[in-house]
Chain A
Amino acid sequence: MEMGEKMNKEALVVCSDKSTCIGITVWDLETGEQLLHIPTCAAAPHGLFCLRNQFIVASQSNRHGSFGGGSIFIWPLNKPQSPLRSYTLEAMGPISCTKDGLYIAGGAPSGNAYLWEVTSGRLLRTWHAHHKSLKCMVFSDDDSLLLFGCTDGIISVWSMISLVDVEDSGSSPSLLYYSSEHRSSITGLVTMSAGARSIFISSSLDGTCKVWELVSGRHLQTLVYPMSVTAIALHPLERLLFSGSVDGNIFVNVLDIGAVEDCFITTEDQAFVLKVHNESITALTFSGFHLISASEDFTFCLWDTINRVVLRRFNNRKGAVTNMVVIKQSSLFPISNHQRVTHQFQVSLLQKYPQPSNPGKGMATFLSFPASRSKPPPTHFLGNNLLDHLISGSEQEEQTPAMLQTKLEKNIDDRLWVTSMTKHVMEISKHLQCRLLDMMQCRLLCNPYEPDSSPKKKRHKIQSQNQTPTEQSQ
C-alpha cells in the first residue's frame, strides 16, 4: 500500500560543493526525513543531475585519487553503493544531459567542453568553447542545441548535430551564435518548451535576466533586478519566473513573451518577493508546483507559491546546498521482478580520451520498444487474407490477385470442359430425339410443320437433366 503511494511521490536530492564529507542527501519533501545518504560527493554548481530517472550524476569538484584531472560519478539510485567512477582530463564544473539520457555534456573551468555518449561512454567531442570558466549549460528542449553560460557573461549556443557529426567534415559550423549582452557571470539558463517558438532565459550577476529566442539568438526582453541574480527557475506552467538574488530574496515575475518588441522590465514594482533566506540563493527548483529554494545560509525551503508561505524548512547543517534535483521516489527502490525494464540502455564509464571512430563498428541500440512486453501485439489471421482474396476475386471478376483463384479456375476449367463435352453430346442426342418426335407427330397428326417446338424441347430437357449431374455453366 505504501509502495504504491510512494511511486508517484517526489524526493529531493541535494549536495554541496564545499566538502566531500557532506555528500549527497535524498530528502522526502513531505515528511522531511532523509531517505538516502551518499557520502563523499561535492559537486560544483550545476554539476548534479538525474539521468533517465535512474542515476544520479555528479561532477566532483574535489578530486578522488585522480591525478590532475576531474571525475564524474554515476550512482544508480537503487544501488548507490557501487557508483561508476569516470575520470576526466580536467576537473568538471557544470554538467548536463539530454532529455533522452543519451548524451552528457560537461564544462571545465578552462572553457573546454566535453560531450559523451552515455551508452558507449565514448567521448564524442572535446572543444574549446569559451575563454573563461563555464558556469552552466543546458540542452534545448528538443535536445538539438546546447547552451553554455560563461563567467564573462557570454552565452553560446551550439548545434548538437554538427558537434557530434561523425564525419566532421567541418562544412557546418557547430556554433550558432554568441551573445555577450550580459556584463557579468551567467548564473542560470533555463529553456522553455513553448512550442515552435523556442525561448530561453539567462540570469546573470549583473542583476538582469534576459529572454532570448533560442535559434536566432534574438534578445526579446530584459528583466532588471536591484540585486545580482544567482539562480532562476521557471514555474512548470512557464508563466512565472522565479529569480533568487544575492541577498536571499526571490523575485517572482510574470513572463510575457508574446510581446514582439524588445523591452525592459524593471522588476521592482512588478515582481513580488519571497523572502525567508538571509544569504545568497544558491539554487531553485520545482517539485510539482512547489518551489524549493536553497541558500548559503545552510537551509532550503519548500514553498507554496500561491500563498507565498514556506511549507517546510530544511536545515542541511553541514554546509550550503548548491545543487538540487527532484527525482521520483520510486527510482530509489530496488527493482522488483515484475517491473523490471529490460529495454534499458546501459550506462558505461565515460572515456577520458576521444577514440578514433571505427566506421565498421556499429551502434548499440534497442529496436522498437514494444509498448507492453507481457501482451503480444494483436495479430491477424492469414486465412482471412486468403478468403479476402477469394471474396474480392469473386466480387470483381477482372481482379483475381490470388493465385488460388487461378488455380481454382484451372481446376474448374478442366471440369467445365468435361461437362460441356457431356452437354454437347446430350444436346445432339436431344436434338435428334426432337427431330424424331417431330417427325412422329407430323406423321401421326398430319398437321403442318410448326417451327416453334420449344415447349416440347423443354420437356425433353427436363427429362434429360436427370442424367447430367452438372448443368450450371450456362
Chain B
Amino acid sequence: MARFDQLENMYDVGLKPVMLRSLIRQYLPAENHPLNLNNSCFELPSLVSILQTHCLLSELDSQSIDPKLINTWKSAVDDWLSCLLSLLSSDMSDKCWVGICLLGVSCQECSNQRFLSSYSVWLNKLLSHIQPPADSQLVKIASCTSLADLLTRLARFPEVKKDGNLLAGKLVQPVLKLLNEDNVEAVWEGAANLLYALIAFFPASIHHYYDKVEAAIASKILSGKCSTKTLKKLGYCLALLPKAKGDKDSWSLMMQKILISINDHLNEAFQGVEEEAKSDEARRLLVPPGKDLPLPLGGASFKGTSSERLPTATISTLMFCCCKMLTSSYPVQVTVPVRLMLALVERLLRVDGSLPHTMLPFMTSVQQELICSELPVLHAYSLELLIALIKGMRRQLLPHSAYIVRVVTRYFKRCSLPELRIKLYSIIRMLLLSMGVGIAIYLAPDVVENASNDLNSLDGEDIETSPANTGPATGALPQLSNRKRKHGAKTGSLEEKQDAPSPKVGESNTHQTIPITVKIAALDTLEVLLTVGAASKSESWRSSIDGLLMKTAINSCKRGWGNLESNIFLPHESASVWADFQLSSLRALLTSFLAPARVRPPYLSQGLELFRRGKQEAGMKLAQFCAYALFALEVLIHPRALPLDDFYSACHNSTDGASNRFLENIYSGSRKQNTSFLSAMQRTEQGGVESHDDDLYDRWLQNENENQNKSEYIPVEDMKDQTSRPNDSSFTNVLEVREKEPAAANADVHMRNENEIVVQPWHLEESVPKSQEVASAKAVMSPAVGTNPEGSEIESKTPLSASDRLNDTNHDMFSCVDKVDGFDNVAGKTSSTLPNAKKGSSSMVHLDSDSSMDSFPGIVDADPDTDSDSD
C-alpha cells in the first residue's frame, strides 16, 4: 500500500515488477504448499491475461532508463522464472503442469536476450517431461505445447538456426514415442502440435527420421480411430513432411502414396455402388504401366479398417492432406499430378449412392444406407480438393479448366445439400476470377440457372411472399412485378419464359426451402459473374438477373436492417447471417447497375432508394457499403466528361498552332455530345423503359441553358412520364411495344425500321441467340469448304458440334445472301461517309438478318474471303 501512491498511473513502468511479484505470491504455489487446483485452473487464464496485457515479462522500458528500476524488474522476472523451474521439477503432477504452462507463456513473452540465454535450459527441462519417467498425460500434453511455443519463438532467430536444429533433433524421437506408444488421443494431439512445429520451423531436424515420422503419422491416420481434429492435425504434419527433405521427388512420392492410399480405400468403400471398371481405371492411372508400385503410405500395409464402418475419416484426412500439400509453399518446383487428382474428384462426385444395375443383387439396404450417410463428407472433401487445385495451380490449370467446367456443371445439377452448394458456388467464383471472361462463357448458363432457382425459392422465414406471385407482390413495390412481367413480354419471344418462374417457385415451396447461406453464396457468385462476364454473351440472361437481384435486395431489406452486432446468446453465425445476406444482395445489386449493358439499368431508381435508406439507417458495415454504392453510382448517373489533362495543357502550351485545332476538337466534341444526348432523350421518351431517369433535373437545367427552344416541351414530357411511372403510361408504352414485337419479328426489314428506336435495344438483347456468333462463324467458314478442302476439316467440325450442343435454337444456318448484303452496305459505308441515320439502320439490317434467319442452305457461292479480296 505504501508503494501504491508512488505510482503515476497504470502505464507506470514501476508497476510492472510490483505486479509480477504479487502475481508470484498470489498464484504460484510455494515449494511445499500443495496446489489448489480447483482455483488455479480458473485463475491461470486470468494470470496469463494480466501477464500479457501488461507485458510483465518483456523487460522493455520505453519511458525511463532508471537502472534501478531495470534491476528491480530483472530480479522480479528472475524470481518468476526460478519459481517456474522449481514448479517444473516438482514431483506433483499438478504443480508441474502449472509450471509447464506458464513456462510456455514465458517463452512467448520474455525479452529476446533472456530467451536466447536460457532457451536450451528450458528445452531440456521440458524435454524431460515427455520422456519415459513422465506418466501424467496432462503434463505430457502441456510440455508438448510449451515446447512447440519455444520452437516457434526460436525460429525467429536465424542466428541460432544451427543450434536450434540440433536441439530440435533431440525432440523427434520422444515425440515419435508419444505417437507410437501412448494410447491417449489427447497426447497424440499434443505430439502432433510439437511435430508440426518441428517440421515447419526446423525441417532439417526431421531429415534423419523421415521414414519413421511418416510411418508414425500414417499409422494413426490409417487406423482412423481419432477425432477429426486430431486427424487433421496429423494430416497437416504429413502434408508438410516432404519439406524436411525439400526436394522434388519426395513431394511427388508422398503425393503418389497418398493418392494410392485414397484410391485403395475408395475401392473398398465403393464396392457395390460403382462399376468395377472405374476402380481399375483409377488404379491404372495412378501407377503407370512399367513402373514399380511405391511402398504403401507409412512403409507397411495397415489393415485396420473394420468392415462395418466406412473408412471415411481416413479418406477425408488423406484428402485434406492432399489439399494442404497443394496449398502450402514448397521450396522447389514440383510436379503436380493434376489429371489424377481431377479424376479422383470426378470419381467421388460421380458416386451418389445409387446402385448400378449390375450391382443390385449384391448390395443390402444397410450397406447402401451406410454409404449414403457418409457420402456428403466425401463430396465435401473432394470439392475442397478441387478448390486446393485451383488455388495451387492458378492459371496453369488452364488446360484442365474445360474438364473442370464439365465436372462442376454436371455436379451442380445434382447437388442439393446446402454446404456442398456453397462450396460449389465458391469454386465457380474462383474459376471466374482466375480464368476471366473466357470461362464465364461456359459457366454463365449454369450459374444463372442455379442461382435463379436458389434465389427464387422461399426461405423458411419468407412467409409473406405468396408462391403465386413471382414478383414481390407484397404491395411494397408493385411496379416491380409489373416491370418484371413487362420484361418477359418484351424480351421473350418464347411464351414459356413468362410463365416459367411460377411453377418453379411453387415447386421449390413444396420441396424444400433454401437456407440463407446458400442464397448468399448464389448472390456472391452472380456478383462475380456480372463483374467478369457481363460483357460476354449475357443478353439472354441479363435482364432476368437484373430483375432478380432487385427483387432479392428489396426482399432482404423490407424487414428492417440486420444487426451486425453478434448476439452473445446466439451462436455467432445466426446473428450475422441476415446482415450478410443484406450486404450480399446490395453488393450484387450494385454490380448489376454498374456492369456494362446496352440499356440504362431499369431498376436504378428503386436501387438508389434502397442505398439511400441503407446509408441512413443501417449499422456500420451496411451503411458503409450503401455510401460506397451511391458514390460508385454517381458516375453512372452523372457521367463525367472530363477534359484530358495532357490535351488541355497542349491547348495552352503548344506553339505550333495546335491550339486552333484543339479548340476545334472541343467544339466538335461538345457538338457530338449534344446530339447523342438528344438521341438518348428521344429514346427515353419513346421507349418508356427508362422513364424514371434520375438525372432528370440535371437534364432540365442543361436543356434550359443550352437549347432554349427545345426545353419548352421535352422536360414536360419527361415529367409526365415520371409522375405516372408506377402504372399507366409506361405500361401502355410497353404494351404497345409488345404488340409490335411479334409483328416485327416476322416482318421484313423495312417494317422494323419504322419503330427501330423502340425495338432496337430489346432486339439486341434477346433475339440474338447465343449461338449466333458460332453460326456466323460457320457461315463464314462453310464456303471455304469448297475452296480449301485440306484445311477446313477442323473448323467445320467444331462449329457443327457447337450448334448441335445448342440444339434449342434452330438458327444454326442463316441467310448468307443477307450477309453479303450486309457486306455491301459496309463496303459502302467505309468508302463514302454516309449520314448518321442511314448508317444506323443499315447496321440494323445486318443484325436482323443474322437473327431472324430462316433455314437457308449453308452453301453459298459468295465467299466473304473473295469478297474482300476483290476490292
Residues in chain A within 8 A of chain B (CB atoms): 98, 100, 102-103, 111-112, 117, 119, 124, 127-129, 131-132, 140-145, 152-154, 156, 159-162, 164-167, 169-178, 180-184, 195-198, 206-208, 213-217, 219, 222, 224, 239-240, 254, 256, 258-264, 266, 269-270, 272, 289, 305-308, 342, 345-346, 358-370, 376, 379-384, 386-387, 390-391, 394, 403-405, 407-408, 411-412, 415-416, 469-470, 472-473
Distance A461 CA – B829 CA, assembled complex (angstroms): 111
Chain A residue at smallest Cβ distance from B403: A167
Please name all residues of chain A whose beta carbon is closer than 8 Å to the beta carbon of B185 when the two chains form the complex.
403
Inter-chain contact B186/A404, CB cutoff 8 Å: yes
* B754 CB-CB contact with A under 8 Å: no
- Known A173-B802, A364-B335, A365-B392; contact A376-B156, beta-carbon cutoff 8 A: yes
* B347 CB-CB contact with A under 8 Å: no
Q: What is the predominant secondary structure among interface residues of chain B facing chain A?
A: helix
- Known A254-B644, A408-B138, A411-B138; contact A403-B189, beta-carbon cutoff 8 A: yes
22 contacts between A and B (CB under 8 A): A140-B437, A142-B437, A161-B402, A177-B774, A178-B776, A180-B868, A184-B871, A196-B530, A216-B536, A219-B843, A258-B639, A264-B833, A266-B833, A270-B665, A308-B656, A367-B336, A380-B152, A381-B104, A381-B149, A387-B44, A403-B189, A416-B38
Distance A161 CA – B402 CA, assembled complex (angstroms): 6
Inter-chain contact A153/B138, CB cutoff 8 Å: no
Inter-chain contact B437/A364, CB cutoff 8 Å: no
Inter-chain contact B836/A263, CB cutoff 8 Å: yes
Please name all residues of chain B whose beta carbon is closer than 8 Å to the beta carbon of A342 when the two chains form the complex.
331
- Known A166-B403, A182-B868, A196-B596; contact A390-B44, beta-carbon cutoff 8 A: yes
Please name all residues of chain A whose beta carbon is closer than 8 Å to the beta carbon of B669 when the two chains form the complex.
254
Please name all residues of chain B whose beta carbon is closer than 8 Å to the beta carbon of A160 when the two chains form the complex.
398, 438
Please name all residues of chain A whose beta carbon is closer than 8 Å to the beta carbon of B836 when the two chains form the complex.
263-264
13 new A-B contacts, CB < 8 A, other than A128-B793, A183-B868, A196-B596, are A102-B395, A112-B791, A128-B792, A131-B791, A159-B441, A214-B535, A260-B598, A262-B839, A360-B339, A363-B393, A363-B399, A390-B44, A404-B138
Inter-chain contact B399/A178, CB cutoff 8 Å: no
Inter-chain contact A161/B435, CB cutoff 8 Å: yes
Chain A residue at smallest Cβ distance from B287: A360
Identify B328's interface contact among A103, A175, A367, A394, CB under 8 A: A367
Inter-chain contact A165/B403, CB cutoff 8 Å: yes
Distance A256 CA – B797 CA, assembled complex (angstroms): 39
Chain B residue at smallest Cβ distance from A359: B339
Identify B773's interface contact among A166, A217, A358, A470, CB under 8 A: A217
Please name all residues of chain B whose beta carbon is closer than 8 Å to the beta carbon of A131 when the two chains form the complex.
784, 787-788, 791, 865
Please name all residues of chain A whose beta carbon is closer than 8 Å to the beta carbon of B200 when the two chains form the complex.
379
- Known A308-B650, A382-B148; contact A144-B869, beta-carbon cutoff 8 A: no
Q: What are the interface flags for B61-98 relative to A under an 8 Å C-beta threshold, 1 for contact and 0 otherwise?
A: 00000000000000000000000000000000010000
Inter-chain contact A363/B338, CB cutoff 8 Å: yes
Nearest-neighbour CB distance to chain A for B548, whole angstroms, equals: 19
Q: What are the interface flags for B556-591 relative to A under an 8 Å C-beta threshold, 1 for contact and 0 otherwise?
A: 000000000000000000000000000000000000
Inter-chain contact A365/B334, CB cutoff 8 Å: yes
Identify B864's interface contact among A180, A256, A260, CB under 8 A: A180
- Known A175-B798, A365-B334, A379-B152; contact A102-B189, beta-carbon cutoff 8 A: no
Select the residue from B530, B649, B664, B865 with max chain A CB neighbours within 10 A: B865
Identify A382's interface contact among B41, B145, B774, CB under 8 A: B145
Q: What are the interface flags for B35-75 relative to A under an 8 Å C-beta threshold, 1 for contact and 0 otherwise?
A: 01111011011001100000000000000000000000000
Select the residue from A153, A196, A380 with max chain B CB neighbours within 10 A: A196
Q: What are the interface flags for B123-160 relative to A under an 8 Å C-beta threshold, 1 for contact and 0 otherwise?
A: 00000000000000110011001101100110110000
Residues in chain B within 8 A of chain A (CB atoms): 34, 36-39, 41-42, 44-45, 48-49, 94, 101, 104-105, 107-108, 137-138, 141-142, 145-146, 148-149, 152-153, 155-156, 185-186, 189, 193, 197, 200-201, 252, 285-286, 288, 325-331, 333-340, 343, 391-393, 395-396, 398-403, 405-406, 435-439, 441-442, 530-537, 595-596, 598, 639, 644, 646-647, 649-650, 653-654, 656, 658, 661-662, 664-665, 668-669, 672, 676, 679, 773-774, 776-777, 780-781, 784, 787-788, 791-795, 797-799, 801-802, 805, 823, 826-827, 829-830, 833-834, 836, 839-840, 843, 864-865, 867-869, 871
Distance A214 CA – B393 CA, assembled complex (angstroms): 27
Inter-chain contact B840/A261, CB cutoff 8 Å: yes
Inter-chain contact A368/B329, CB cutoff 8 Å: yes
Chain B residue at smallest Cβ distance from A182: B868
Distance A228 CA – B193 CA, assembled complex (angstroms): 71
Inter-chain contact A166/B535, CB cutoff 8 Å: no
Distance A196 CA – B597 CA, assembled complex (angstroms): 10
Distance A412 CA – B48 CA, assembled complex (angstroms): 21
Select the residue from A180, A198, A345 with max chain B CB neighbours within 10 A: A180
Identify A177's interface contact among B36, B328, B656, B776, CB under 8 A: B776
Identify B108's interface contact among A143, A258, A384, CB under 8 A: A384
Distance A146 CA – B404 CA, assembled complex (angstroms): 20
Please name all residues of chain A whose beta carbon is closer than 8 Å to the beta carbon of B533 when the two chains form the complex.
196, 215
- Known A154-B780, A161-B442; contact A124-B399, beta-carbon cutoff 8 A: yes
Please name all residues of chain A whose beta carbon is closer than 8 Å to the beta carbon of B869 when the two chains form the complex.
152
Distance A53 CA – B288 CA, assembled complex (angstroms): 38
Nearest-neighbour CB distance to chain A for B687, whole angstroms, equals: 13
- Nearest first, the 7 A-B pairs at minimum CB distance are A144-B438, A142-B436, A177-B773, A197-B596, A173-B802, A165-B402, A128-B791
Please name all residues of chain A whose beta carbon is closer than 8 Å to the beta carbon of B155 when the two chains form the complex.
376, 379
Inter-chain contact B676/A306, CB cutoff 8 Å: no
Distance A162 CA – B435 CA, assembled complex (angstroms): 12
Inter-chain contact A359/B395, CB cutoff 8 Å: no
Please name all residues of chain B whose beta carbon is closer than 8 Å to the beta carbon of A345 when the two chains form the complex.
333
Inter-chain contact B186/A382, CB cutoff 8 Å: no
- Known A178-B776, A307-B650, A381-B149; contact A224-B801, beta-carbon cutoff 8 A: no
Inter-chain contact B402/A264, CB cutoff 8 Å: no
Distance A216 CA – B441 CA, assembled complex (angstroms): 10
Nearest-neighbour CB distance to chain A for B719, whole angstroms, equals: 25
Chain B residue at smallest Cβ distance from A258: B639
Chain A residue at smallest Cβ distance from B598: A260
Inter-chain contact A394/B839, CB cutoff 8 Å: no
